[in-house]
Structure 1
Amino acid sequence: MFKRLTQRQFVRFNSLGVSKHINEAAFHPSKINKAAGEAFVKEYTEKVHHSEAVTKLWKRITYIVAVPALIATAIPVINIELKHAKHREHLAHLPDEEWPVQYDYQNIRSRNFWWGDGDKTLFWNSSVNRHITE
């Protein structure tokens, strides 16, 4: 029912060598259409001119709108993160008894992780996270 394909039949059409002869015949000097070529060049130059204007517009939008918006957003975030850093420094000096209570539903481990000591998560940060064992 199904014919088994040989290795030669899997080769792409353009790599068979047949298309080489077809392309040479298609671009023979007697078959070149000069009017179509000139129309193509005209259309291409129009596209290039249009794309230059659009590119300049988007560069202006980026530098005038996007960069100031990023800076305006970054300033308050930096202030908040600096406050968080001061708070983390304060918490680092607290003894374990004064650290916030670890409830039963926190840090549930059904089995140990396969990395490190097996109890700390992959994103464990020793300066932020505290591991209190009772």
Structure 2
Amino acid sequence: MALSGRFSSAVLRSASRVQTRQLSAAAHGDQGAKTWKILSFVVALPGVAVCMLNTFLKIQHHSHDQPEFIPYSHLRLRSKRFPWGDGNKSLFHNSHVNALPDGYESQDH
């Protein structure tokens, strides 16, 4: 018991003597913090805004029609039934996007 107490106090003393690594803002004083703040507002926020605009414009021009079904022999192989549902649909099946081996579930879209 006394040995573990001496060991833990020795570890604590050595840990207090170890210099800690300073962050960029602390190492450069107030100038580092100002630089990162300016970069955040001038580079990061406009970059996020441009990405959001790009995504919005691409969604506006995106067609929501089902792609044409072409029965390629190397796609939608079912050598063994899935252990859920009817055994023909994948776990995250979306009837509008994912085709079954014989085509889409509904052709009325």
Please indicate the TM-score interval, normalised by the length of the shorter structure.
0.5 to 0.7
- Alignment partner, residue 126 of structure 1: 95
Tell me the residue number matched to 1:69: 47
Write the letter of the residue equivalent to 2:57.
Answer: N
TM, length-normalised to structure 2: 0.57
Shift of 1:49: 7.0
Gap change, CA 1:21 and 1:48, over 3 Å in 2: closer
2:6 corresponds to which residue? 18
Structure number having the greater helix percentage: 1
**Residue type of the alignment partner of 1:64:** V
Equivalent-residue separation in structure 1 for 2:9 and 2:73 (angstroms): 78
Aligned twin of 1:31:
none
RMSD of aligned Cα (Å): 3.7
| Pairing partner for 1:91 from 50, 53, 66 | 66
Aligned to 2:78: 109
Conserved? CA contact 2:82–2:89, under 8 Å: yes
CA distance in 1 between counterparts of 2:48 and 2:9 reads 57
Unaligned runs of 5+ in 1: 1-7, 9-14, 27-43, 93-98
Normalized against structure 1, the TM-score is what?
0.49
- Identity across the alignment (%): 26
